[in-house]
Amino acid sequence: MDSLAVIVARRKRQDKLFGALGIACTSLGLIMLVVLLGDLMYQGFGRINWQFLTSFTSRRAGSAGILAAWVGSLAVMCITGLTAVPLGVAAGVYMEEYGRKGRINTIIEVNIANLAGVPSIIYGLMGLGVFITLFDFGRSFLTGGLTLALLILPIVIVATREALRTIPVHVREAAYALGATKWQVVRHHLLPYSLGGITTGVIIAMSRAIGETAPLIAVGAVAYLASLPQPAPFSGEFPFVSFEWIESPFTVLPILMFNWTSRPQADFQSNAAAAGLVLIAITLSLNAIAIFIRYRARRRIKW
């Protein structure tokens, strides 16, 4: 029988060992990230300038730019967000607040959780089948945006449900006890109080979607695109706004990067690295917004 001191010493050693292991694993991840980013910076940073951001792609690496791609990425994200967010939030609210908790609901729940894990190329094939073949939307912004909307829909639904679940029962009961209807409880209480959580989830989903390549290749994104969405959404003549641009061919940043990396010239590699940096910058700013919103919501509402 060991003395107490020996046992304590041994357990402390185990504690330290695990601590060291943890630090090693964490730093491995961090180092990888830093090396990756550093390499990207080294290759691409010199290429980022006004000309690069404002020209279309070209056969000559030196004069090629990413204008169509970053505008395309933002435009596709608009379509994705405008469709996936209302649909996903509504579905999440329905499942959490309205749906009867029964076997059918459980089956739907499990399926949605699984959908979030389906490989993105499958969504591409589905977009091809549904939006191009069936609905004849063509290889357009609309098809690309809707395909990515399908991809992030499960994430938005799950995020909405999680956010709703953090609202304590006693706050709901307070509203119901005053005679609110279900819709009033949702509209006046649940949605405002879960806004922080939902927005965070939506932005995380969007930052996943903005980096997607495979499903967009499947629905026919063009790499070599030398035009902005046509016609321009705003004009000086009546009716001033037009949504016809959603039917024009599209490209996005990752597609352009993919195209550039497959070229032999070294200059195109640094172009691709530079486009990657722009993409990372967009993603990081999205995440920063998510963190800020979450921070604000947490400070305003703590249960």
Residues contributing to the site for other proteins (CB under 8 A)? 100-101, 168, 170-181, 184, 188-189, 193, 300-302
Smallest separation (angstroms) from other proteins to the CB of 295: 16
Tell me the closest approach of the beta carbon of residue 102 to other proteins, in angstroms.
9
**155: closest CA among 122, 194, 108, 204?**
204
Q: Which is nearer to other proteins, 121 or 171 (CB)?
A: 171
Considering the complex, what minimum distance in angstroms separates the CB of residue 158 from other proteins?
A: 23
Closer residue to other proteins (CB): 5 or 178: 178
Report in angstroms how near the CB of residue 193 gets to other proteins at its nearest.
6
Q: Which is nearer to other proteins, 105 or 242 (CB)?
A: 105
Query: Which residue lies nearer to other proteins by CB, 60 or 100?
Result: 100
C-beta closer to other proteins: residue 107 or 288: 107
204 touches 162 (CB < 8 A): no
- 179-207 in b/e burial notation, b at 16+ Cβ within 10 A? ebeeeebbeebbbebbbbbbbbbbbbbbb
Q: Which is nearer to other proteins, 24 or 177 (CB)?
A: 177
Q: How near is the Cβ of 201 to other proteins at its closest, in Å?
A: 20
CB of 195 to other proteins, least distance (A): 11
